[in-house]
Amino acid sequence: MQLGRDEPFSLFIPAHRKISSRLIDIFLGMRTYEDLLSVAAYCRDRVNPNMFIYALSVALLHRPDTKDLPIPSLSEIFPDKYIGGGFLSRARIEAEIVPTGSRVPIEIPRDYTASDLDEEHRVAYWREDIGINLHHWHWHLVYPFEGDIRIVQKDRRGELFYYMHQQIMARYNCERLCNRLGRVKRFINWREPIPEAYFPKLDSIVAGRTWPARPSGATLQDINRPADQVNFDIQDLERWRDRIFEGIHAGSVVGQRGERIPLTEKDGIDILGNIMEASILSPNPGFYGDLHNLGHVAISYCHDPDHRYLERFGIMGDSATAMRDPVFYRWHAFVDDVFQEYKQTLPEYTESQLDFPGVEISSIGLTTNQQRNVLNTYWTQSTLDLSRGLDFTQRGTVLAKFTHLNHADFSYRIVVNNRNNTPQRGTVRIFIGPKEDERGLPFTFRQQKNLMMEMDKFTVSLRPGENTINRNSTESSVTIPYERTFRNLEQGRPLGGEGLESFNFCGCGWPHHMLLPKGTKAGYPMDLFVMVSNYELDAVQQEEPTGCRDAVSFCGLKDRKYPDARPMGYPFDRQPRPRAETLPQFLTGNMAITEISVKFMDVVIPRGRSGSIGNTLTLS
């Protein structure tokens, strides 16, 4: 109860993390479900609401006796984190005046935080997408910073922190290129002004205050806010950064007893991820500090660094809203650059490490109900029920209608020739990436590899001879279906068993409606890359997983090891071997590329009954 009920709560603030960690431990420590229910009911009306929801959600996800309990989407509990206050006021009026059966959805315009006079607003539809922000919040539920070591210490957790954010950066950079914007410039000089402004237009229902804005030209300053128990200098961030770089180039980091911990080829990225994120798994938090989290804090408090104006933090201080801000991507461009610095110290993959002897890809392509190798994107309108998160005099459904990017379904067709005399098992790895930079010049492999977006990964059995593999886009190992992003917990909920466990855990994953970049009206050229790697070298020995298997590339498997022995991002996670200057020169026999095009239509097309599933596009 150290944090007031109307105070803001942030996972990035160390004191808040410790308090929430204690609450998580209390919830996890309840011996029975009835005890948990009792203590949760007691806490609900006494502790900070944002912290309560976070701690209870983490506990429900990790307690064996609560796996059957549905976890509501945060957009239903706190719609004020995603929808502007003016629209919530209209929803309140709608609920008080209009009978339940006659209510009309409140329409949220696509452009309400800025106009195109701000060039960064060209990609606001992507940054402010509710599904993308829900993914970021839910990922941090599955992978909490602090708490019982049993829920924090998951297999390759630090590496997954690196890879999930690296893929966000690849997708955002591609989105920028589709909208005639340059790639993100990393935020490396923390003493220069931040040119990007952001005015979130959000109100906090809990605090009854507006989220602070950041005008153009804001600068970071030393933070000294006793009320939040946070006090650090920009110089501290610089010192931690330099120590991490020293460890990368020394090939080892310093442990708490002064010992050197080697950054091995296998485990180095995992150790580095734990140091950078500054979870409780960091081998030496006193020496390497809290760089990633306090970077978020410094940016989120740049408008009131010493609390003289009694202002709360900006949206960069909340994992549920941070991805709305353009500076999130500049900060994570720096974070990813640290990881890439380490990756450059590793040996390049040799041809033998990439090849799959006797297995060759003959052809690859995309199939849609339109032109071959042309993917179609467009706008779709969806609704979100606000009634769970708003206290009205009359209950009943109160809907908000918002517009978001979507795409028509497609499938991959891959022809693989197995020249071996015996059946082989392989892992199909599918990526797409932009072909040209902001100047229209072709990318070198060193540039393009960090922009390759993972689309799918799955296992196949290859009989001797020719094999034709067909795979639907809806089966992606990266995404969760539309219904799991914006789901009604009262509809389609299984009664029990494995199906119900999947219903809950599967809330983690990239939203399927954002699987593709927007593209352009003329068609944005991209490379489709397909690789079949040797499953014997990919396999992880463990029991067959139960429950959720969607979005394993970003979220892993519940209570299991990460289901791929290769480094995350393989084969694009390292520098190329000599003379592989372009993507075609990088290929081995078990790889193939072809040019595809992503074509955008600036129209709103109704969504099918099953969300993105079954989205067919008919052009007259």
- Please give the distance of CA 128 from its chain centroid, rounded to a whole number: 13
Amino acid symbol at 549:
R
The neighbour count for residue 170, using CB atoms within 10 Å, is: 23
Please report the sign of the dihedral spanned by the C-alpha atoms of residue 315, residue 321, residue 324, residue 328.
Answer: positive
Q: Which of 233, 211, 593, 587 is nearest to 432 (CA)?
A: 593
DSSP assignments along 268-314, one per residue: HHHHHHHHHHT-TT-S-HHHHTTHHHHHHHHHHTTTSTTSTT-----
Backbone angles phi, psi at 594, to 5 degrees: -150, 155
Structure tokens belonging to residue 239: 């010192």
DSSP assignments along 542-602, one per residue: SPPP-S--TTHHHH--TTS--S--SPTTTTSSSPPPTT--SHHHH--TTEEEEEEEEEEEE
Structure tokens belonging to residue 256: 């708490």
DSSP symbol at 610 = B
User: Cα(344)–Cα(333) distance, rounded to whole angstroms?
Assistant: 16
User: Cα(188)–Cα(375) distance, rounded to whole angstroms?
Assistant: 36
Q: How far is CA 388 from CA 66, 83, 462, 504, in A?
A: 21, 14, 49, 18
Pairing of strands 453-462, 223-225: unpaired
Asked whether 295 and 331 are in contact (CB, 8 A), the reply is yes
Distance from the first to the final alpha carbon of the chain: 61
User: Under 8 Å CB-to-CB from 499, ≥6 apart: which residues?
Assistant: none
User: Cα(39)–Cα(205) distance, rounded to whole angstroms?
Assistant: 24
3-state per-residue secondary structure call for 157-202: HHHHHHHHHHHHHHHHHHHHHHCCCCCCCCCCCCCCCECCCECCCC
CA atoms within 13 A on the CB side of 471: 22
Identify the active-site residue in 94, 277, 360, 454: 277
Active site residue 277: yes
User: Cα(500)–Cα(430) distance, rounded to whole angstroms?
Assistant: 30
Q: Annotated active-site positions, please?
A: 277
